[in-house]
Structure 1
Amino acid sequence: MRGIEAAQAYLLMPHVGQVIAIFRILGIGYQGYDDLLNNLVQIGTGEGKSVVMAVTACVFALIGVDVNCSCYSEVLSMRDKNDFAPVFRALGIEERIEYGTFNRLCENLLNEQCNVRDKVREMIVDNKSKIDVAAKSVRTDPKVLLIDEVDVFLSEKFYGGTYSPSVDIKDSTIKTLLDIIWHNKTIRNLNAVKNTPAYKAFANRFSNWIFLFDEAIKDMLTALESFQSSTYIVQNDRIVYVDGESIVDNVVHGYSTIWAYYHEHEKDNISKVSLETNVGIIVNCGTFSYAEMPHEFAYITGVTGTLKTLATSEQNILRKVYNVQKKTFIPSVFGSSNRMFNSSTDVLVVKESEYYMSLRGDIDVVCHAGRAILVFFESDEKLMNFYNSSELSSIKNDVQIITEKVAAKDRELCIKRAALEGRTTLLTRTFGRGTDFICRNQQLLANGGIHVLQTFFSEELSEECQIMGRGARQGDRGSYRMILLDKELEWVLGSTWEEDLPNIIGSNLYKKLNKARNDLYESRCGAKELSIDQCRQEHEASKRFMSSLTSGNIETVKTFLKNQNQGASFVSGSSRTVLLMDATGSMSSLLSAAKETRFISNADCHISKL
């Protein structure tokens, strides 16, 4: 009994690097400065970034400062929150420390002024012709932003991206109208919908907001033509989507999600209760820029494992946009790395006919040596193609898979089993960051530790460093290797890749690939500023909308919502717009931006690399 009690009350001794990192975040050691400086600290993978974040948050919270610990991953964020919740409760500071994703950060900041979703829903459901003036909440306490992995925040998804809160309006007249549109395939334009008795009842119910719903009907009809191409999953009687390493059920892809519910209900995959609960009219409530959110905080700091790999333009963003004046690089307390990797010999490029056999060969060598291997793939599709290949068939039953679609509990079990002798684990790239493969098997470590095999060339050096860091952690032995498919290097080498590859194969291969990648990434990062200005304008317009919402300016609110929810322009017959973009050369940076652009208002568009 004494042993159990001791195990529940033991103390962890922080290592020197963690203490120094906390001191630097708190401004200790910066000579000539009296106030806190926005700063970032680099800590190696597996060396306790979560502990540094939690302890720093405690210090700020204890002096009355609210702290927001923001991370790119819901899973990792909730893991850290749960791990340190007992400490926060014991100190009485749980209410001052918020863990969440960058999306949650935006949501919380918006709700400080007013709950925009609830306000808009109430206004429309009650069919109001005027809105009450809301009491303005003014923040008096300063807030601190602690960013976990700043390179992810600076990625295209966030810096240059937007957060668009929406509200779903549910009513029996709306459900009846949706039923009519779904079951009557001859109704394919707004005028035809208006001629139905269901629309007339619907218009009478929402007389003050019918102008907004007419725009929604246009989008409904457009999405009806293409919803089946949406990459959703049916899980637990819900339509869900893959987001990073998580399957999220609170994401809606416009009316494609609504019609997916109807489609799966007809196939008996979705219950009637779930259908009625999850369908309605979607009203977008603004477009807020992720890039603008950090400016709401009095102090910006954080930890990352890849500060040195940031592009020059990203370094400039930190310095000029967010006034990050200081950076600290904490050396490993475990000394020099015991990872075996030689960029001259451990990066291979093979032809398609040899690719799977080369991967299998690496797996066999590692497993026969009594070690464990983690094999990272670019996508779920490529992972499954290898898993189902003839080359892997003889050991397929002994191979475990970790993808975004694997249930969280099963995933945790697979992660624990990954560091066993002779174990082969196939993973998607998402799990190359933030996933702890802890090896306590001394025989496995004696045999050489965990081997990490990457099967694709990362577009960002930071991702490569993170994947490499899944093995040889905290001074353990380990190794890393890349086996790449030659034709998949076109994005980095350009259209002449077939001619260029024979000239760089050998000791200079990685050096050439890395330089070409970095040049492309620098170019892409430089192009981010082109979209930032547009995002900033939409952000400011959305903030003015929220001010109008709280001040009771109904006409301004209506104008904004109509513009924000402009429906698809209808043309008779069908049409298709095809855009051809050079995704391998100088235009590659615009491909992702094009995917985020709303062509013909909210009409669905699909962009792929061919």
Structure 2
Amino acid sequence: MSTVAFDIVRPGLRHGHRPERRQRRADSALEARLRSLIARPWRFDDFAPILAEIERASMVEEDRIAVLRERLSRDGFERDVLVALFGTLVQAVRRHCGFELHPEQLFAGWAMLHRSLVEMQTGEGKSVTACLPAIAAALAGMPVHVISVNDYLVTRDSEAFKALYAHFGLSVRAVVEGMDEEARRDAYAADVVYCTNKQLAFDYLRDRCRRGNGGRARPGSLGECLSSLTGSETGMPLLRGLCFAVVDEADSVLIDDASTPLVLAEARGAERQAATEASVALGIARALVQNRHFMLRRDISQVVLTDTGEDSVRRLTERLDGVWRFERYRMERVRQALAALHLYRRDRHYLVQAGKVLLVDESTGRAMPERRLQHGLHLMLEIKERAESGDDHDVIDAISFQDFFNRYHALSGMSGTLREAAVELADIYALQVVSVPTHLPARLDVLPASFHATRREQLAAAMSLVEERHARGQPVLIGTRSVAFSEEVSRCLATCDLDHSVLNARQDADEAGVIAMAGAPGAITVATGMAGRGTDIRIGPKAEALGGLHVLNLELNASIRVDRQLFGRAARQGRPGSGQSVLCLEDEMLRDHLSAPLRALLVRASGALPRVTARLAGLATGLVRRHVAARERTRRRDLRDLRERGQRLLTFGMELD
């Protein structure tokens, strides 16, 4: 159990104008990971004496903010200072938010200031809890980043707690997509900044490219200080350093996205030759036959050319000149074209809107208009869909989230689903996971999963369940992974004359309005991951009396944590709610990760007793998830090991720093 809070690191002469942590040596990183694995994490019972002191401090009616700021700046996070601050926070939340901070929230805020990630169940008030360590660190002079998974949550929370931060004399701003450089710089100058992990990491890369020595001068180093003093930087930086971050949905950001390569690229203009080469590669790929000329490895997102396929490629390109005469080039371009044709699927991995190909973030279900696949792959998708061709790009710089967040001097966070990832979080970030009890007993009723052999049978069963819940007036949320399947479900609901709303990357204009109505009596909402993490669906007394929100999950997710997050939209803050999975053997995850004999066995068993079917479903989904999780853990571990050895890694054909 860590009784020592993290050190105060702020911009200045001691730590540099833009502080960030140096990469640890392998031995010191191993020592930190072992320490976090061995040490006993905080428990709620350990907090009881501190809680009593905070309660007494909250009774003191006097303005202590100026004194607290001075002491935090001078002495750091001493226990008596934090007790007084938390007492003042209780008063401020009561005054500006209109509710009381409960003991579990105070415990979570305290733990985050003591080198921990906290697991708080969905609906337990994580948004206001994040304010507690953020205000403490900002009063001590540290630039604070509160990181969420989408712009909707960033805007919502920065506005909701503006008065609370102002009470302590702190400024708060939000950084969202579409802001120009000057607006971003002004926002990052605030004491507390709300932003998404992607916006923040890309702004960090932009800053790194502004520094001298090709963007590689380390912040706080002599080279960086000289660049700042002499004006040799190409522009004013956006960020004020990587001092302290509170990461909401920490498992999604720090684990699920850990190995995601973030690539800063510069448009170089569309080239006629590149378009011609991409068209030729697609033409060759269309002439090849699956399982004869190539094999699809969907489990690892790769295309493998067979010997017959390679011979066919050589024969089809033998009369072509230029780059097609190079064996390695032509094979790679054809594999890339095959991936564009067979691995990247419209309305799942990307959308076509207004004549443009937009990538979809599978973890959030949101479109990413500013992101492009590299090395001509995006151009192939545009040609495949006969869409408008955008500019090709040259890679300027890149980083992974795993590397980026390890550069923070102090890191904390929270989520409703951390315990499954506790060992990985300790291994990668040297952070412990602290479990926070619920303030009120949980009332979520998770019903047994049903399992169906075909998509048609699955949808028929789902419609029957929705009609039953809708008839009694209970609100229903239907969760899917892809835009395509959400729209297929929508068509089935329309056929059954069931009024409903759809929330996905194509239909996101009124996201706040759809979420606001999703808990109304009789409401039916179909949503991708956009209605998952952080989404607060409020239900009224009438819907609560009818059983609260019912969540229906129709597609298997790679991690059980995603299912827990989806079901966590129901039964929040001690209210009733229920959830159920209605799964199908034709689901992509099951089809791609289970062998044909096992799938056949499950099909034959689909007509068995419901309890037997549910058991088989649990075994199959568990097998798929373990397979996917093992592959992802290996990939993240390889990233860490290569970084610690000072090597550079190529992932998806892109170089990561």
Q: 2:558 — aligned with what? A: 459
* Whole-Å separation in 1 of the counterparts to 2:240 and 2:360: 38
1:24 and 1:434 mapped to 2: Cα distance?
A: 21
Once the two structures are TM-superposed, the CA of residue 543 in structure 1 deviates from its matched residue by 9.8
User: CA distance change for structure 1 residues 284 and 331 in 2, over 3 Å: closer, same or farther?
Assistant: same
2:479 matched residue in structure 1: 376
After superposition, residues 59-70 of structure 1 pair within 5 angstroms as 59-70=136-147
Q: Could you tell me which residue of structure 1 aligns to residue 546 of structure 2?
A: 447
Q: Taking structure 1 as reference, are residues 437 and 181 closer, same or farther at Cα in structure 2, changes over 3 Å only?
A: same
- 1:410-429 to 2 correspondence within 5 Å? 411-429=511-529
- What is the CA distance between 1:106 and its match in structure 2? 2.6
Tell me the equivalent position of 2:105: 18
**One-letter amino acid of the structure 2 residue matched with residue 102 of structure 1:** N
TM-score, normalising length from structure 1? 0.65
Question: For 1:45, which of 99, 122, 135 is the aligned residue?
Answer: 122
The structure 1 residue matched to 2:400, chosen from 283, 289, 295, is: 289
* Conservation of the 8 A alpha-carbon contact between 2:351 and 2:359: yes
Distance 1:13-1:85 versus aligned 2 partners, 3 A rule: same
In the TM superposition, 1:269-308 aligns within 5 A as 279=391, 281-308=392-419
The answer to whether the 8 Å contact 1:452/1:471 transfers is yes
Say whether the 8 Å CA contact 1:149–1:303 is kept in structure 2.
yes
Contact kept? 2:201, 2:401, Cα under 8 Å: yes
Q: CA deviation at 1:317?
A: 2.3
Does residue 350 (structure 1) correspond to residue 452 (structure 2)? The answer is yes
Query: Which residue of the other structure, out of 425, 428, 438, is the alignment partner of 1:332?
Result: 438
Aligned 1:201-220 pairs, distance under 5 A = none
**Cα 1:401–1:288, aligned 2, differ >3 Å: closer, same or farther?**
same
User: Who is 1:31 aligned against?
Assistant: none
> For residue 341 of structure 1, what is the aligned residue in structure 2?
446
> Alpha carbons of 1:99 and 1:149: their partners in 2 closer, same or farther (altered >3 Å)?
same
Partner of 2:577: 478
Residue of structure 2 equivalent to 1:152: 252
| Distance change (3 Å), C-alpha of 1:473 and 1:383 | same
TM normalised by structure 2 equals 0.61
The one-letter amino acid paired with 1:385 is E
TM-fit CA distance, 1:64: 0.9
CA drift at 1:155: 4.2
Name the CA shift for 1:22/1:241 in 2 (closer, same or farther; >3 Å). same
C-alpha distance 374-525 of structure 1, shift in aligned 2 (>3 A): closer
Mapping of residues 226-245 of structure 1, within 5 Å: 231=346, 232-233=350-351, 235=353, 239-243=357-361, 244-245=364-365
CA contact (8 A) 2:481 2:528 kept: yes
Q: How does 1:22-421 map to 2 (within 5 A)?
A: 22-27=109-114, 38-88=115-165, 91-94=169-172, 95-115=190-210, 134=232, 143-156=243-256, 158-169=257-268, 231=346, 232-233=350-351, 235=353, 239-243=357-361, 244-254=364-374, 255-257=376-378, 279=391, 281-308=392-419, 310=420, 314-325=421-432, 327-333=433-439, 335-342=440-447, 346-352=448-454, 354-389=457-492, 392-396=494-498, 398-409=499-510, 411-421=511-521
Match of 1:468 in 2: 567
Does the C-alpha gap of structure 1 residues 8 and 376 become closer, same or farther in structure 2, counting only changes over 3 Å?
A: same
Aligned-partner Cα distance in 1 for 2:406–2:354? 39
Which residue does the alignment assign to 2:538? Answer: 438
Mapped contact 2:452–2:606 kept (Cα < 8 A): no
What amino acid sits opposite 1:443 in the alignment? K
Task: Determine if contact 2:254/2:401 at 8 Å carries over to the other structure.
Answer: no
3-state SS in 1 of match to 2:573: coil
| Range 147-156 or range 458-467, more displaced | 147-156
1:373-421, Cα deviation, whole Å (9 max, x unpaired): 11122322223223334x751315x122111211332x32222222222
- CA distance in 2: counterparts of 1:514 and 1:179, whole angstroms: 47
CA–CA distance in 2 between the matches of 1:108 and 1:98? 13
Partner amino acid for 2:366? S
Distance 1:247 1:143, change over 3 A: same
Letter aligned with residue 297 of structure 1: Y
Do 2:451 and 2:584's aligned partners in 1 also have CA atoms closer than 8 Å?
yes
User: Structure 1: which 5+ residue stretches go unaligned?
Assistant: 1-6, 28-37, 121-130, 194-214, 545-562, 565-595, 603-610
CA contact (8 A) 2:249 2:533 kept: no
Structure 1 residues 470 and 180: CA distance shift in structure 2, 3 A: closer
CA gap 1:424/1:359 in 2 versus in 1, 3 angstroms: same
Shift of 1:490: 5.2
3-state SS of the aligned residue for 1:165?
A: strand
- Change in Cα spacing, 1:480 to 1:285, as seen in structure 2 (3 Å) is same
For 1:462, the aligned partner's letter is R
Matches of 2:600 and 2:485, distance apart in 1 = 22
> How many residues end up aligned between the 2 structures?
476
Whether the 8 Å contact between 1:449 and 1:478 is mirrored in structure 2 is yes
Question: What SS does the aligned partner of 1:375 have?
Answer: strand
User: Match of 1:302, as an amino acid?
Assistant: G
Higher RCO (CA 8 Å, separation ≥ 6 residues): 1
Q: Which secondary structure does the structure 2 equivalent of 1:145 belong to?
A: strand
Structure 2 CA distance for aligned equivalents of residues 349 and 223 of structure 1 = 36
> What does the per-residue CA deviation read over 1:260-298, in whole Å, with 9 as the maximum and x for residues that have no partner?
77999xx8x86xxxx8xx53x411124423222222122
SS in 2 for 1:69: strand
Superposition deviation, residue 47 in structure 1: 1.5
Alignment check: 8 A CA contact 1:149 1:305 kept: yes
Cα deviation 1:89-118 (Å, max 9, x = unaligned): 562343232333332343344345443799
Identical residues among aligned pairs (%): 18
Give me the whole-angstrom Cα distance separating, in 2, the residues matched to 1:181 and 1:502: 48
Q: State the AA in 1 paired with 2:484.
A: E
Look up the equivalent residue of 1:58 and give its one-letter code: I
Who is 1:573 aligned against? none
Contact 2:365 / 2:482 at 8 angstroms: preserved in 1? no
The structural deviation recorded for 1:431 is: 2.1
Once the two structures are TM-superposed, the CA of residue 71 in structure 1 deviates from its matched residue by: 3.0
Contact 1:74 1:101 in 2 (8 A): yes
Give the Cα–Cα distance (whole angstroms) in 1 for the partners of residues 337 and 529 of structure 2.
Answer: 33
Checking the alignment, whether the CA contact within 8 Å between 1:460 and 1:517 is kept in structure 2 is: no
Root-mean-square deviation (Å): 4.6
